[in-house]
């Protein structure tokens, strides 16, 4: 396919990036794709039959020649590189880490997807490349070298006269390039500090650092100030969630707490209330970290619990879990019963029942489908176990929460 207004040199550069990264890349002009590699790239939009020409992502506009690293609601990652007012390069989708079961379950819940899609989603994410910070950094350098600041205003039009930008304009572009280098916001190191404080359960210090971060200008993430603040808080919530998990909170608890806060962010329409909510988020995540650390489980049992929570909707065997934590199955079984007070098998069933309540509350999935999703051998056994741990049937629970 040929586009007369795109120079061969520009096409070659885009092709170089694709073969360097092995990640889908598209050149957009006025939000319409004009060239892409590969010819039929993967995307959640295609999987979910959302025929969008432009990916569903939020990024800061009018930041020419800067790399922005963004993630959407499906954990797909993209690198956005604006060439000028009309043209931009988007690299992605890719992942910043391997997709694991708990994260996939959160994705399904958060986006109200059918649990029957799980196998398709597993297959889709297995095909996406994982790019760590180092790889993203070198992609940034490659883009900056292939499309330097003196690039023409239109990527495909050769100009006979060179036009030098004014000193203020050069300063503006260079400042933003420096700020966004390595995809880090200006207060990045402060974000590192607050993450460490959350991880270590230090509430007063965390409030102080958050105040310092908020004394700086927030990134503009939408033309609407309220929407921009909400987007910013959702980003903060993601940072806090990861810090809490590193501090010992299970993925299950951290992601459920994150979901609850994001829902509260979305329904809050007061700027002052949103500011207060961010402080409450920090304090709540820290409280969860401190709660997690009151249980003096051994590292083996903590790792076992984390592995189970990350694979609740996968098949779990004692042998597989023991291999993951590097102990003999018999030893793990005895140690788990001694420290936790119930058997490993009972713990798995209890956690599966507890997590399944989300689908009973917020989805129309059938009881049979929910039972199958959480690896119960049949619907009757799921109902029996639900009654045991929740004191009522799944249908009664669903009705009482609607």
Question: Over the stretch 204-238, which tens digit does the pLDDT of each residue have?
Answer: 777 777 777 666 666 666 678 888 888 888 888 88
The whole-number pLDDT of residue 297 equals 83
pLDDT value at 96 more than 60: yes
Residue 305 to residue 86: CA distance in whole angstroms: 50
Boundary-marking domain end, from 292, 326, 346: 292
Q: Is 154 within a domain?
A: no
In which order are the strands placed within the sheet that holds 32-37? 32-37, 25-29, 87-94, 77-82, 67-71
Locate 377 and state its tokens. Answer: 């051998």
The candidate with the shortest Cα–Cα distance to 26, out of 9, 5, 43, is 43
What's the CATH number where 391 sits? 1.10.10.60
The whole-number pLDDT of residue 154 equals 46
The whole-number pLDDT of residue 349 equals 96
Domain match, 217 and 333 both = no
Domain match, 28 and 139 both = yes
Q: What is the pLDDT of residues 124-183, one digit of tens each?
A: 999 999 998 778 888 888 888 888 765 444 444 433 333 344 444 444 444 444 444 433
Residue partners of 141: CB distance under 8 A and separation at least 6: none
The whole-number pLDDT of residue 374 equals 93
Domain match, 212 and 249 both = yes
Residue 80 to residue 198: CA distance in whole angstroms: 30
Mean pLDDT of the chain: 81
Domain match, 278 and 201 both = yes
Q: Is 156 within a domain?
A: no
- When pLDDT is cut at 50, 70 and 90, the band that residue 257 belongs to is confident
Residue 201 to residue 283: CA distance in whole angstroms: 9
Q: Considering the entire predicted model, what is its pTM?
A: 0.62
The whole-number pLDDT of residue 221 equals 62
Structural domain that includes position 227: 188-292
Domain match, 28 and 167 both = yes
Locate 73 and state its tokens. Answer: 């609601």
Domain match, 280 and 316 both = no
Domain match, 39 and 173 both = yes
Average pLDDT value for residue range 62-77: 85
Q: Is 2 within a domain?
A: no
Domain match, 48 and 172 both = yes
Locate 236 and state its tokens. Answer: 């903060």
Residue 279 in contact with residue 210, Cβ under 8 Å? Answer: yes
Neighbours of 355 (CB within 10 A): 20
Q: What is the pLDDT of residues 272-296, one digit of tens each?
A: 898 888 888 888 998 888 887 777 7
pLDDT value at 29 more than 50: yes
- When pLDDT is cut at 50, 70 and 90, the band that residue 335 belongs to is very high
pLDDT value at 92 more than 50: yes
Q: Is 157 within a domain?
A: no
Residue 321 to residue 305: CA distance in whole angstroms: 10
Q: Is 124 within a domain?
A: yes
- When pLDDT is cut at 50, 70 and 90, the band that residue 32 belongs to is confident
- When pLDDT is cut at 50, 70 and 90, the band that residue 191 belongs to is low
Q: Is 3 within a domain?
A: no
The whole-number pLDDT of residue 163 equals 38
Domain match, 288 and 334 both = no
pLDDT value at 2 more than 60: no
Residue 56 to residue 41: CA distance in whole angstroms: 15
Residue 141 to residue 199: CA distance in whole angstroms: 32
What's the CATH number where 49 sits? 3.30.450.240
The whole-number pLDDT of residue 200 equals 82
Domain match, 133 and 26 both = yes
- Burial (CB < 10 A; 0-12, 13-18, 19+), residue 185, is middle
Q: Is 339 within a domain?
A: yes
Boundary-marking domain end, from 243, 277, 292: 292
Domain match, 34 and 131 both = yes
Locate 39 and state its tokens. Answer: 């010819």
Domain match, 285 and 330 both = no
pLDDT value at 116 more than 50: yes
Q: Is 114 within a domain?
A: yes
Sign of CA dihedral 262, 267, 271, 276: negative
pLDDT value at 61 more than 50: yes
376: preceding bond cis by omega (within 30 degrees): no
Length of the chain: 402
Query: Into how many domains does the chain fold?
Result: 3
Strand pairing class (67-71; 32-37): unpaired
For tokens 């509260």, the residue is 264
Residue 42 to residue 20: CA distance in whole angstroms: 18
């Amino acid at each position: 396919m040929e586009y007369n207004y795109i120079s061969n040199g520009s096409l070659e550069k885009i092709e170089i990036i694709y073969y360097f990264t092995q990640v889908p890349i598209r050149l957009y002009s006025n939000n319409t794709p004009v060239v892409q590699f590969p010819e039929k790239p993967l995307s959640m939009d295609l999987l979910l039959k959302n025929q969008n020409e432009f990916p569903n992502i939020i990024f800061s506009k009018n930041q020419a020649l800067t790399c922005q690293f963004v993630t959407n609601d499906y954990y797909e990652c993209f690198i956005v590189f604006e060439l000028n007012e009309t043209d931009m390069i988007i690299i992605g989708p890719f992942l910043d880490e391997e997709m694991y079961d708990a994260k996939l379950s959160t994705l399904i819940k958060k986006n109200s997807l059918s649990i029957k899609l799980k196998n398709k989603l597993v297959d889709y994410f297995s095909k996406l490349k994982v790019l760590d910070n180092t790889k993203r950094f070198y992609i940034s350098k490659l883009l900056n070298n292939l499309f330097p600041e003196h690039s023409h205003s239109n990527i495909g039009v050769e100009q006979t006269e060179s036009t030098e930008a004014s000193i203020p304009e050069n300063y503006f572009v260079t400042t933003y390039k420096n700020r966004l280098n390595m995809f880090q916001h200006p207060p990045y190191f402060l974000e590192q500090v607050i993450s460490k404080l959350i991880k270590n359960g230090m509430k007063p210090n965390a409030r102080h650092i958050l105040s310092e971060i908020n004394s700086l200008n927030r990134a503009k993430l939408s033309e609407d100030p309220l929407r921009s603040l909400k987007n910013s808080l959702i980003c903060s919530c993601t940072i806090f969630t990861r810090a809490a998990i590193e501090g010992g909170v299970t993925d299950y608890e951290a992601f459920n707490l994150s979901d609850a806060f994001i829902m509260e962010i979305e329904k809050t329409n007061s700027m002052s209330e949103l500011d207060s909510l961010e402080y409450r988020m920090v304090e709540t995540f820290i409280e969860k970290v401190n709660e997690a650390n009151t249980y003096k489980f051994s590292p083996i049992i903590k790792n076992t619990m984390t592995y189970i929570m990350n694979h609740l909707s996968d098949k779990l065997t004692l042998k597989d879990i023991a291999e993951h934590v590097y102990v003999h199955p018999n030893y793990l079984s005895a140690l788990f019963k001694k420290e936790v007070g119930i058997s490993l098998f009972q713990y798995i069933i209890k956690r599966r029942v507890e997590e399944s309540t989300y689908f009973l509350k917020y989805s129309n999935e059938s009881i049979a489908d929910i039972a199958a999703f959480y690896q119960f051998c049949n619907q009757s056994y799921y109902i029996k176990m639900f009654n045991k741990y929740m004191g009522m049937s799944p249908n009664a629970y669903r009705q009482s929460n609607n």
